[in-house]
Amino acid sequence: MADHTLLNLHITLNTNKMKNIYKSFLVLSSFLLIITSCSKDPILEQDPFVIAFDNLSLNIQNISDQENIKLIYSNTANENSTLVIEVTNNIAVYGVDYLTIPAAENNRITIPINKGESQKTFTFKKLNPNLMGNDVFINFKIIEITHATSSIQGNSNLLLNSSASIGGDFEPEVGGPNEGNQVFVDLSNQTSTVIQRDTWDLGFYCGNEFRVSLNGSIFMATKATNYTDIDTVPESVLTNMQTEVLVSNGNPENANYVDAINGDVTETAIDEISETDSENKVYLLNMGSKIGLYTPNTGSVDMQGSFRGWKKIRILKNGDGYTLQYANIEDTTHQEIFIAKDNLYNFIHFSFDTENTVDIEPQKDNWDLCFAPFTYVISNPAYGSYIYSDFIIHNRKGNVASYQQSNTNELNYDNFELTDVNETNFTNDQTTIGSNWRNIFTRSVYNDRFYILKDPDDNYYKIKFTALVNQDGVRGFPQFEYTILE
């Protein structure tokens, strides 16, 4: 079973805390144990002092004015010294199209390293707003570090161009052990969109079909009544249904009250909205739960806060959009709102808290992965719907596909190339990565697998997960690295 947290999300295990892997470096330990030929006594030799770029590449088109470029140290600087970065470019002209702070002299930027600091930034300032094109590039390369025991290794180059990101390290801001956020990640631009996951309720599909989805990150569920007039549904009918329309209650039947986990928009819990109004039923809507506020034991999660209550809803087709009718279950009148489609997006989202549409997902071509709790369906053994933590879906409706690749001696993450991609392995099932990347008992990531993803622009990426917890063993701090395949 992919997630062994059934019936108890707060399992506490007496396992050692997972060691944090410091991003951007290939430093494996704090000290190397050297055994000299003349003595069997160990001699501790300090690791080299390394400085690396936080990213491997940035897209110039995404920089409107200026960008602070981050450099990370392998350990705290123990002396004052300097860093020298060489600047090379094509078509872009220093002083005309862009500048840096500190300024470059003779194509070199000299940056002071101050004792006691562990990172640094310098500024790229874009002077030409039309600086773009496939032939345009600016490359920053670390060529000298005067700090004692320094070594140039790891991410020593940063490329700015107009192409898809060549890769890097990523730490989605999931929100710690309460996992309060949904994080939409765009690999080609190396950007993310972070939203609080209980700020929306319904998603109105913008494609050809007229379908409405539930917010599966907050325990929502729904079931149709036999009524078509929202104002005359007996409150007793809705009240009697409440023991059924639940998530994580161990009843296999509740799988019918949540959206299909594979992301197929034709399999939503709410039936397709009919042209004929009399065919559109009133639904009882379980509003799910707020984000948890309790701080769980280290290594556990608490995703479920207080219950958000119930609504009754009915949805009608209205031209190329929707009319949503909604009310509290005891009400004999209702409110309604028109929601128009926008073909730039997968969904237009609606919040009952604001009683209006809200911005949630980026445009459908501008995200690849989403990190958030997820309503899954456990079928073997038959359990029904269940909320999984640390879950990752890919953007099926935006034409993203992925597959899991075994990590072997012959074919592993490091040597996997574009020619190794197997097109027949790609699947549009949005749960391909799902929870399969992590082991909650050891609070670690599986190192026997990685993932191949094809984005909406047919860029191919390999993705390797590197952390589930932070350096203190706290959940909700995933990390991954990725590289474009060219």
DSSP 313-338: EEEEEETTEEEEEEE-TT-SS-EEEE
- In-domain check, residue 2: no
Q: Which two tokens stand for residue 115?
A: 């004792």
CA-based R_g, the chain, Å: 26
Phi-psi domain of 149 (left: phi exceeds 0; alpha: psi -120 through 50; beta: other): left
Q: Are 398 and 442 within 8 A, CB to CB?
A: no
The sign of the CA dihedral 422, 424, 426, 432 is negative
Residue 258: which pLDDT band, with cuts at 50, 70 and 90? very high
Task: Extract the tokens encoding 170.
Answer: 């990523």
Indicate whether 55 and 71 sit together in one domain: yes
Q: Do 158 and 188 fall within a single domain? A: no
The predicted pLDDT at position 117 comes to 94
Do 337 and 378 fall into the same domain?
no
Same domain, 402 and 338: no
pLDDT tier at 46, thresholds 50, 70, 90: low
pLDDT at 24 over 60: no
| pLDDT, position 94 | 96
The reported pLDDT for the residue numbered 29 is 34
Instruction: Please check whether residue 36 lies inside any domain of the structure.
Output: yes
What sign does the CA torsion over 137, 143, 147, 148 have?
positive
H/E element, 406: strand 401-406
Q: Say if 338 falls within a structural domain.
A: yes
Residue 278 within a domain: yes
Residue 355: inside a domain: no
Give yes or no for residue 32 having a pLDDT over 90.
no
Amino acid at 24: S
Q: Which of 192-196, 246-250, 324-328 has the lowest mean pLDDT?
A: 246-250
The H or E element that residue 238 is part of is helix 235-241
**Which pLDDT band, with edges at 50, 70 and 90, does 246 fall under?**
very high
pLDDT digits (tens, 9 = 90+) for 385-415: 999 999 999 999 999 999 999 999 999 999 9
Same domain, 188 and 211: no
Q: What is the pLDDT of residue 9?
A: 31
Residue 31 has pLDDT above 80, yes or no: no
233 is written with which tokens? 């549904």
For residues 265-291, give the mean pLDDT.
Answer: 97
- On whether both 215 and 181 belong to a single domain, the answer is no
Q: What pLDDT is attached to residue 40?
A: 35
| CA-angle at 40, arms to 35 and 44, nearest 5° | 45
Where does 36-166 show beta strands of DSSP type E?
42-46, 51-53, 57-59, 66-73, 81-90, 98-101, 108-113, 119-126, 137-145, 157-161
Q: Residue 77 sits in which domain range?
A: 31-163
Would 11 be classed as within a structural domain? no
306 and 317, same domain (yes or no): yes
Residues 67, 148, single domain; the answer is yes
393 and 420 co-located in one domain: yes
Total count of domains within the chain: 3
